[in-house]
Chain A
Amino acid sequence: MTRALILTHGKLGRALLDSAAHIFRGGAEVDVLSNEDFCGSDLAGAVRAWADAEEGPVFVFVDVGGGSCGIAAQLALRDRPDSWILGGVNLPMVLTYLGAADQLEPVELVSKLLDRALNSVRLVGDESRS
C-alpha cells in the first residue's frame, strides 16, 4: 500500500482533501503539508521525516513542480527510488488516488493519476470554440 502527501502553497492541500471528502468517502489515507512558515531546507526535512516514518512507496502531490514545494519534495526524496512526485495536483488527481491507490501498483497508479488529471484540464461545453 502506498502513502501519499499533498504538499502545497498555503491551504490549497487541505482544501483539496476536504473537497475530495465531499465527493468520495473512504479509500486511501492522504496527509497534507503546507509550505507556510517553512524555509526551504526545513520544508525538505519535513517531507523527508514524513516519508521515513513508515516503509513502503510514497506519492507526493505538489501544486507547482518548479516551486518551493516541488523542489523541497525532490530534495527530500532524492535517494528514494520508491517515491513519485506529481506536479499540478488537482481534485481529479486526488480523487483518483483515493479510489485507486489500493488497487494498482505504483507505476500503474502514476499512469492513471496523470491520465485523469491531464484529461480534466480542458474546455468544458462547446469544444468547437477552442
Chain B
Amino acid sequence: MSILLARIDDRLIHGQVVVGCCGSLHARRVILCDPEVMADEFQQRLYAAAVPPDIQLDFCDVPGTAEIIAGLGEEECRHLIVVTGSCAAMRDLCESCPSIDRVCLGGLHHRVEAEEVWPGFFLDAEDRNALRALLDRGIEVVVQRIPGEEAIDAAERLRAIDSPT
C-alpha cells in the first residue's frame, strides 16, 4: 500500500506543492513532517493558509507522521502527500514507514557546501548519504519538481558521485 507522494522540498509547502501536486494528483491530505514547524504556531498558520480548505493538513515530526500513516487505510494512503524539508528526515521516515516505496526530490535549492547534482537541485554530503540509504532499502528516488515533468531516476547519478574512480 503506497502513499500518493513522498516529497522532499526545502521550501516545504508552496505553489508547486499546492497547485502542482495537490491539484493535479487530487490529494485529500498533506502531512508536513517538520519538527520546527510542528513547534511553531506562526509557521503553521502560514502553511495552513496556503493549502485549500478541502485538504486536511497535519503538522508532525517523523514519529508522528509514521504513526498516522500506519493507521491509514489503502484509500486514505492513495490520497496522502507527505512533505519533508530534508533528505535525512525522509530517510528517517522511510525507516519506520514501509508503505513509502517511492520518494520524489521536489526542491533542494542552493545552500552552503551543497553541489548542484541536477539542474536546480543541490545536495550536500548528508543529503547524498540519506538518499543512498533510501536506495539501499529498495526505495525508488526520482527528481521531479511537479507531476507531469519528466521524472529523473536519481539512482545512477547518486551512486556515481561518490564511487571510487
Q: Chain A interface (Cβ within 8 Å of chain B)?
A: 9, 37-43, 64-68, 70-71, 74-75, 78
Contacts and interface: CB of A to CB of B under 8 A. Distances in A.
Given A38-B109, A39-B110, A42-B109, A67 B14 contact: yes
A124 B107 CA distance: 38
Contacts of B12: 40, 71
Q: Which bucket holds chain B's interface residue count?
A: 20 to 34
Interface of B: 10-15, 18, 42-43, 46-47, 49-51, 85, 107-111, 120
Contacts of A41: 10
8 contacts: A38-B109, A39-B10, A39-B109, A40-B14, A41-B10, A42-B110, A66-B50, A74-B46
B51 to A, nearest CB: 8
Nearest to B110: A37
Nearest to A78: B42
Contact of B109 (A9, A37, A65, A78): A37
